[in-house]
């Protein structure tokens, strides 16, 4: 019945022949295992797809579980805990804020930590942004980005602009607008029938290692993708397009895939040609995750700043539930000279405790020089991964298709060739590392023939060399076990 409800998007997403709809079940995503354990365990009273161990406390990247055992989190939840758990500065800031002011409604009052945090956010990229709106997470940030972009054109008297162009194999969040934007078949599947197919359209991802043609240079590949975007504008009617939306570095669908050099300048140029907005989703890849700089787009050399940007995860570092939308001067001016304010509002927006916690996380990043440490630790992690997984004598090397990333955001993509595993390799790997006391994210790929299973590592920016050694050792042993068992 679900498939019958979804003819439009299925056709649209299948225009890229190598990307397949997850036909059998949503369980092709390792994070959405079949709910057998879930239904068996009626003691679990909140949403979780399987019975996980219970975390009782945490320090740095170690969780202590209810049975007293400790496990290592190599992916910061989902690239969230950027300074590790239990930081005394953040804990104190949250306690102090609870004592002072626990809540005020941002439609009626603002508060000191929210204002200080907004000021800091603008300082991270001088000139690029003029205003900030706070929300409670990544999906909300993308939802707000979509609404802000639409409101901008409404304000400047271009109400005919109703279309967004985003990319296949993208993930922008699980609320309806963000999911309509997302090009991730297995996450969309159940909801296709109620997603908005009129306003949300998709073009190819920038995923060179899989989709660059044989003999094609990076420049030619980028030119092809820019032409595809231009063609999509033409197909929809250039003056009907609100904007092009992309993750600066793709996270949850393909694992830390950065675009080839020149891609973002080329895509932004197409947007500018037609007066549309260039919108970046840095919910996962931003707030220092790529090392050296706060925003991922600042790390690429070409420094192409967006008209609108969403951030979340690392903004609160897991201590508080926060996301934000950043507005460029162009967008802020449009809103200011129109209605005067962004219509979007939530009860818990710019929450004082949340803002105080986030501000403290940002203070720790600055005081402990964690952007530099993230870049350095990332280089070490990458070198250890390459040395271990790609070693000539390694039994896992034949199955490692790619190791890519930056900062502390690393993806390892697998390719099994003709070999098969009883469940997607990514799902097996995630379970195997957990058995050995290591949390990672690993997923089944969305490519034809089950290709593209990947694992993601994203430890906190203050991870030590010893901790990296442990992560790589357990990760490698887990892959080795699976190779011995199934391949």
Site residues (vs ligand PLP, CB under 6 A): 78, 137-139, 142, 171-173, 247, 251-252, 281, 283-284, 312
**In 274-424, which residue ranges form alpha helices assigned H by DSSP?**
329-337, 352-367, 370-389
Taking residue 369's Cβ as centre, other Cβ atoms within 10 Å add up to 12
* Minimal CB distance residue for ligand PLP: 138
Between the CA of residue 32 and those of 174, 436, 470, what are the distances in Å?
13, 21, 27
Separation between Cα atoms, residue 408 and residue 430, nearest integer Å: 19
User: Nearer to ligand PLP by C-beta: 121 or 287?
Assistant: 287
CB of 140 to ligand PLP, least distance (A): 7
CB of 253 to ligand PLP, least distance (A): 9
Separation between Cα atoms, residue 108 and residue 94, nearest integer Å: 22
User: Nearer to ligand PLP by C-beta: 79 or 389?
Assistant: 79
CB of 139 to ligand PLP, least distance (A): 3
Strand partners, 327: 131, 308
Q: What per-residue string of b and e applies to 8-17 under the rule 16 or more CB within 10 Å gives b?
A: ebbeebeebe
Only one residue has tokens 């901790």, namely 467
Structure-block tokens of residue 390? 């790609």
CB of 412 to ligand PLP, least distance (A): 18
User: Nearer to ligand PLP by C-beta: 284 or 471?
Assistant: 284
275 dihedral zone (left: phi>0; alpha: psi -120 to 50; beta): left
User: Nearer to ligand PLP by C-beta: 280 or 365?
Assistant: 280
User: Nearer to ligand PLP by C-beta: 76 or 138?
Assistant: 138
**C-beta of residue 190 within 8 angstroms of C-beta of residue 228:** no
CB of 234 to ligand PLP, least distance (A): 28
Is the Cα dihedral 36, 37, 41, 43 positive or negative? negative
CB of 138 to ligand PLP, least distance (A): 2
Separation between Cα atoms, residue 200 and residue 177, nearest integer Å: 9
CB of 7 to ligand PLP, least distance (A): 26
CB of 286 to ligand PLP, least distance (A): 9
User: Nearer to ligand PLP by C-beta: 226 or 310?
Assistant: 310
Quick check: helix, strand or coil at residue 102? Answer: coil
**C-beta of residue 325 within 8 angstroms of C-beta of residue 312:** no
CB of 201 to ligand PLP, least distance (A): 18
User: Nearer to ligand PLP by C-beta: 258 or 400?
Assistant: 258
DSSP 355-382: HHHHHHHHHHHHHTTHHHHHHHHHHHHH
Structure-block tokens of residue 42? 């009626």
User: Nearer to ligand PLP by C-beta: 167 or 384?
Assistant: 167
CB of 182 to ligand PLP, least distance (A): 8
Give strand ranges (E) for 263-306.
277-282
User: Nearer to ligand PLP by C-beta: 31 or 327?
Assistant: 31
Backbone angles phi, psi at 211, to 5 degrees: -115, -5
User: Nearer to ligand PLP by C-beta: 78 or 190?
Assistant: 78
Q: How far apart are the first and last CA of the chain?
A: 36
């Amino acid at each position: 019945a679900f498939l019958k409800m979804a003819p439009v998007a299925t056709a649209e997403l299948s225009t890229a022949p190598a990307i397949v709809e997850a036909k059998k079940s949503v369980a092709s995503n390792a994070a959405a295992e079949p709910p057998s354990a879930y239904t068996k365990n009626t003691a679990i009273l909140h949403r979780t797809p399987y019975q996980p161990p219970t975390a009782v406390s945490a320090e740095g990247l170690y969780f202590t579980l209810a049975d007293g055992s400790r496990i290592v989190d190599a992916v910061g939840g989902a690239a969230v805990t950027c300074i590790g758990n239990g930081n005394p500065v953040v804990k104190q800031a949250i306690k102090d804020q609870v004592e002072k002011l626990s809540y005020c409604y941002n439609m009626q009052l603002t508060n000191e930590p929210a204002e200080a945090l907004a000021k800091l956010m603008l300082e991270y990229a001088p000139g690029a942004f003029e205003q900030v709106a706070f929300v409670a997470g990544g999906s909300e940030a993308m939802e707000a980005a979509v609404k802000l972009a639409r409101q901008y054109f409404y304000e400047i008297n271009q109400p005919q602009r109703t279309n967004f162009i985003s990319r296949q194999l993208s993930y922008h969040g699980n609320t309806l607008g963000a999911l309509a934007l997302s090009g991730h078949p297995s996450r969309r599947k159940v909801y296709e029938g109620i997603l908005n197919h009129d306003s949300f359209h998709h073009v190819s991802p920038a995923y060179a290692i899989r989709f660059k043609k044989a003999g094609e240079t990076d420049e030619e590949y980028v030119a092809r993708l820019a032409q595809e975007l231009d063609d999509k504008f033409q197909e929809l009617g250039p003056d009907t397009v609100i904007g092009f939306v992309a993750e600066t570095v793709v996270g949850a669908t393909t694992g830390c895939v950065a675009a080839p050099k020149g891609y973002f300048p080329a895509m932004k140029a197409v947007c500018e040609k037609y007066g549309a907005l260039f919108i970046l989703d840095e919910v996962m890849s931003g707030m220092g995750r790529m090392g050296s700089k706060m925003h991922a787009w600042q790390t690429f050399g070409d420094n192409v700043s967006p008209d609108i940007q969403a951030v979340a995860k690392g903004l609160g570092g897991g201590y508080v539930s926060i996301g934000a939308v950043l507005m460029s001067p162009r967008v802020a001016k449009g809103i200011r000279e129109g209605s005067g304010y962004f219509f979007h509002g939530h009860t818990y927006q710019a929450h004082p405790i949340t803002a105080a916690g986030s501000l403290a996380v940002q203070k720790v990043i600055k005081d402990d020089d964690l952007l530099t440490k993230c870049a350095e630790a990332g280089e070490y992690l990458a070198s250890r991964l390459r040395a271990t997984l790609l070693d000539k004598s390694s039994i896992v090397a034949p199955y490692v298709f790619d190791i890519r990333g930056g900062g502390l955001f690393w993806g390892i993509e697998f390719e099994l060739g003709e070999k098969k595993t009883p469940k997607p390799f990514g799902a097996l790997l995630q379970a195997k590392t957990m058995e050995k006391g290591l949390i990672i994210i690993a997923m089944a790929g969305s490519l034809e023939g089950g290709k593209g299973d990947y694992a993601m590592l994203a430890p906190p920016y203050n991870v030590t060399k010893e901790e990296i050694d442990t992560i790589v050792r357990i990760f490698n042993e887990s892959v080795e076990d699976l190779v011995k068992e199934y391949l």
